[in-house]
Amino acid sequence: MPLLEAAGIVKVFGKLTALDGAALTVGENEFHGLIGPNGSGKSTLMKCIAGAEMPTQGKVSFINSDITMLSPHVRARAGMSLKFQITSVLPTLTLYDNVLLALQARASLFDLVFSRTRGALHEQVITMLRQFRLADCAHDAAATLSHGQQQWLEIAMALAGKPRLLLLDEPTGGMSIEERRVTGELLRPVKRHCSLVIVEHDLDFIRDICDRLTVLDQGRVLASGTVPEIQASKSVQEIYLRRA
Ligand SMILES: Nc1ncnc2c1ncn2[C@@H]1O[C@H](COP(=O)(O)OP(=O)(O)OP(=O)(O)O)[C@@H](O)[C@H]1O
Ligand SMILES: [Mg+2]
Determine which residue's CA is closest to atom 24 belonging to ligand 1. 38
pLDDT digits (tens, 9 = 90+) for 3-56: 999 999 999 999 999 999 999 999 999 999 999 999 999 999 999 999 999 999
- Among 122, 147, 162, where does a domain finish? 162
Single-letter amino acid, residue 42: K
Determine which residue's CA is closest to atom 18 belonging to ligand 1. 41
pLDDT given for residue 13 in this prediction: 98
- Provide CB contacts within 8 A for 11, sequence distance 6+: 17, 18, 19, 41, 44, 45, 48, 53, 55, 56, 219
Pair (72, 177) in one structural domain: yes
Pair (158, 212) in one structural domain: no
Pair (71, 170) in one structural domain: yes
Pair (71, 178) in one structural domain: yes
**Is a pLDDT exceeding 60 seen at residue 110?**
no
Pair (130, 223) in one structural domain: no
Q: Is position 136 within any domain? A: yes
Pair (234, 173) in one structural domain: yes
Q: Is position 107 within any domain? A: yes
Pair (1, 59) in one structural domain: yes
The predicted model scores a pTM of 0.92
d(CA 227, CA 213): 6
Q: Is position 87 within any domain? A: no
Pair (140, 185) in one structural domain: no
pLDDT band at 57 (very low <50, low <70, confident <90, very high): very high
Q: Is position 85 within any domain? A: no
pLDDT given for residue 243 in this prediction: 60
C-beta 39 within 6 A of ligand 1 = yes
Q: Which helix (H) or strand (E) holds 139?
A: none
Domain that holds residue 239: 1-79+164-244
CA nearest neighbour of 240 among 208, 213, 209, 211? 213
pLDDT digits (tens, 9 = 90+) for 118-161: 677 888 899 999 999 999 999 999 999 999 999 999 999 999 87
pLDDT given for residue 73 in this prediction: 86
To test the ligand 1 pocket, which listed residue (9, 43, 84) has its Cβ within 8 A of the most ligand atoms?
43
C-beta 41 within 6 A of ligand 1 = yes
Judged by its nearest atom, the ligand closest to the C-alpha of residue 243 is 1
Pair (183, 69) in one structural domain: yes
**Is a pLDDT exceeding 80 seen at residue 103?**
yes
Pair (150, 182) in one structural domain: no
Centroid of ligand 1 to alpha carbon of 238 (angstroms): 22
Q: Is position 84 within any domain? A: no
CA 11 to ligand 1: nearest atom:
12
Domain count, the chain: 2
119 close to 97: Cβ distance less than 8 angstroms: no
Q: Bigger pLDDT: 232 or 113?
A: 232
Pair (184, 232) in one structural domain: yes
pLDDT given for residue 104 in this prediction: 80
Instruction: Catalogue the E-assigned strands of the chain.
Output: 4-13, 16-26, 31-35, 57-62, 65-66, 80-83, 165-169, 195-199, 212-217, 220-226
Q: Is position 227 within any domain? A: yes
Q: Sign of dihedral through CA atoms 34, 38, 39, 43?
A: positive
Judged by its nearest atom, the ligand closest to the C-alpha of residue 54 is 1
Centroid of ligand 2 to alpha carbon of 43 (angstroms): 4
**Is a pLDDT exceeding 90 seen at residue 1?**
no
- Among 111, 138, 162, where does a domain finish? 162
**Is a pLDDT exceeding 60 seen at residue 113?**
no
Pair (158, 182) in one structural domain: no
pLDDT given for residue 21 in this prediction: 98
pLDDT given for residue 240 in this prediction: 77
Centroid of ligand 1 to alpha carbon of 43 (angstroms): 7
Q: Is position 191 within any domain? A: yes
pLDDT given for residue 115 in this prediction: 58
pLDDT given for residue 33 in this prediction: 97
- Among 129, 162, 195, where does a domain finish? 162
The mean per-residue pLDDT over the stretch 65-92 comes to 86
Instruction: Give the CATH number of the domain where residue 195 resides.
Output: 3.40.50.300
Centroid of ligand 1 to alpha carbon of 95 (angstroms): 31
To test the ligand 1 pocket, which listed residue (11, 12, 13, 169) has its Cβ within 8 A of the most ligand atoms?
13
C-beta 183 within 6 A of ligand 1 = no
pLDDT given for residue 108 in this prediction: 59
Q: Is position 86 within any domain? A: no
